[in-house]
Amino acid sequence: MSGRSIVEWFAEHEAYRCGYCGCADTNFSHGMWAHTMTCQDYQDLIDRGWRRSGKYVYKPTMDQTCCPQYTIKCAALQFRPSRSQKKVIKKVAKLLVNPPTGSKSGEQGGPDSQGPSMVEDVPDRQPSNVDVPQVSSGETKVAAGAQQVAAGATQDKESGLSRESQGDVKEGGASCEIEKPSSSNKVPRPAHSFASLLLGEGPDPTKPPCKKAKLLRKQRKQEKEALRQAAESAQSLPWKKEQKEEKKLFEDFLKDQALSRLEMRLVRSEPNSEEFSRTRMESFEVYKKYQIAIHKDEPDKCTMKQWTRFLVDSPLQEEHKPGSPACGNGSFHQQYWLDGKLIAVGVVDILPNCVSSVYLYYDPDYHYLSLGTYSALREIALTRQLHETAPRLEYYYMGFYIHTCSKMKYKGNYDPSFLLCPEVYSWVPVEKCRPKLDASNYARLEDPGKADENGNIDVDRVLVLYEQQLMPYAIYRALTGGSDVDDVRLYATLAGRTCAERLILFRN
């Protein structure tokens, strides 16, 4: 049945091992096997908390599972990279020109942290509004010299000796220069000599007081701030401020000349495009190397069949409809080629409203490029690019956000981002959700009073495929007695009314 989705519901609801906290039997989810699925149906399903792994489509049981998994999306058109995200882009551009010693030759260590749905890269992020002061080598020497002078003065005081002929003395970074009297020009020595200064008898009244380096830096900072405020007041027109803020767009950061060495290729994986088939073995070898090095998989488990079932097979139909991007909708691999070598692959679904990230794997020899964060930024850029010809396509879905897992919380840093409420299936800004998730692992994210608008289910209207005949569940129940009505009602409730009346439920 071309253009229709056919699914097979699994009624079992058994506990299994959690890949996030490691508990053996605390993870719960419902699932179904998608024999084929339209991109719009899958879009509607992920907007109710479903995700796919190959052709298996599953929905975590949020109020029972140990690590509740909240669907997260980023508004790609409004996205502005943070300071740390800009640093990653600049870092990649720099390292493409000058890779670190030992890279690209099998040396590993400190790879980005990973998670089960996509690369869970957790870069070290220092708050962007905090500047850590750096102590220069010159200031270190100044401090050491001051301690030596103070120690010498103590010794002179104890021995009764005066040290009147001194050179330059630096304290805290400022210079106090004491001139020696010349033999040809007799100048009476001031009452307060340098030795008396060291012996604690007070400052030299003939010299201006010295300023510490800290005070000088503070004074310079105040002067710069005053100049900046004066410049802003002189150019306080709103359009000037907006022009300054928009001066450097997100895409501009990705146009560095060094980044041109990194070629991006978007190839359709289902059905296999010619380009995908030609690079199939190279892509699999990168995956195998990644799984063994990063996830510690046994080599004999990383087979071509396992890779195909997990990351190549997809239920999504290839679609080219009005309003779709030029590449069409469906499942793709975004390949990262560096000087003709495949180093990373991002598995994505291009849907009517979004680009949905499925997984990322890369050559561990290139872990220093922070490809987890960099690939997410590239996929946001892809979303913005596709939007130009597909106006509905505005969002970037990052899989699941897990507040209890540090490796998954980084997804909330792509601003602006939203979490899906597990009870009414509306989108709530991440900032509003965090206090609730701090208080409880599972939480209703939407305000009280709002209901699930797609939750009113009429089980008799569910479409069923039985003995090669398509019929409403009401007729199927009359033919078979309807002993599975509770399972079908649960399936329809989790899928939502819209999908339940459009998907075709296969019954044997």
Q: Please state the pTM of the whole predicted model.
A: 0.73
- Give me the percent of the chain exceeding a pLDDT of 90: 62
Is the domain spanning 74-124+260-399 CATH 3.40.630.30? The answer is: yes
Q: Which pLDDT does position 407 carry in this prediction?
A: 82
Residue 462 · residue 472 · CB < 8 Å: yes
Range 200-204, long-range pairs (CB < 8 A, 24+ positions): 204/178
**CA distance linking residue 241 with residue 335, whole number of Å:** 38
Residue 412 · residue 35 · CB < 8 Å: no
Task: Tell me the per-residue pLDDT of 300-354, one tens digit each, with 9 for 90 and over.
Answer: 999 999 999 999 999 999 999 999 999 999 999 999 999 999 999 999 999 999 9
Kindly provide the b/e burial profile for residues 459-498, where b requires at least 16 CB atoms within 10 angstroms of the residue's own CB. beebbbbbeeeebbbeebbeeeeeebeeebbbbbbbbbbb
Q: Which pLDDT does position 408 carry in this prediction?
A: 87
Name 292's Cβ contacts closer than 8 Å, sequence gap at least 6: 298, 299, 302
Spans in the chain with pLDDT lower than 70: 1, 102-211, 231-248
Domain extents in the chain: 6-66+454-507, 74-124+260-399
CA distances to 9, 225, 471, 475, 482 from 478, rounded to whole Å, are 20, 80, 11, 5, 7
**CA distance linking residue 117 with residue 64, whole number of Å:** 20
**CA distance linking residue 259 with residue 419, whole number of Å:** 32
State the CB neighbour count (10 A cutoff) for residue 19. 13
Q: Using alpha carbons, select from 260, 431, 418, 280 the residue that is nearest to residue 342.
A: 280
CA angle 291, 60, 328 (to 5 degrees): 70
Q: Which pLDDT does position 174 carry in this prediction?
A: 35
Name 267's Cβ contacts closer than 8 Å, sequence gap at least 6: 273, 275, 276, 279, 332, 333, 334, 335
**CA distance linking residue 250 with residue 242, whole number of Å:** 15
SS3 73: strand
Q: Which pLDDT does position 412 carry in this prediction?
A: 94
Mean pLDDT of the chain: 81
Question: Residue 167 has which token pair?
Answer: 């050179």
> In this structure, what DSSP letter does residue 310 have?
I
Q: Which pLDDT does position 229 carry in this prediction?
A: 78
Q: What is the DSSP string of 400-463?
A: EE-TT-TTTGGGGGSSSEEEE-TTT--EEEHHHHHHHHHH-SS---SPTT---TT----GGG-E
Q: Which pLDDT does position 236 carry in this prediction?
A: 52
SS3 213: helix
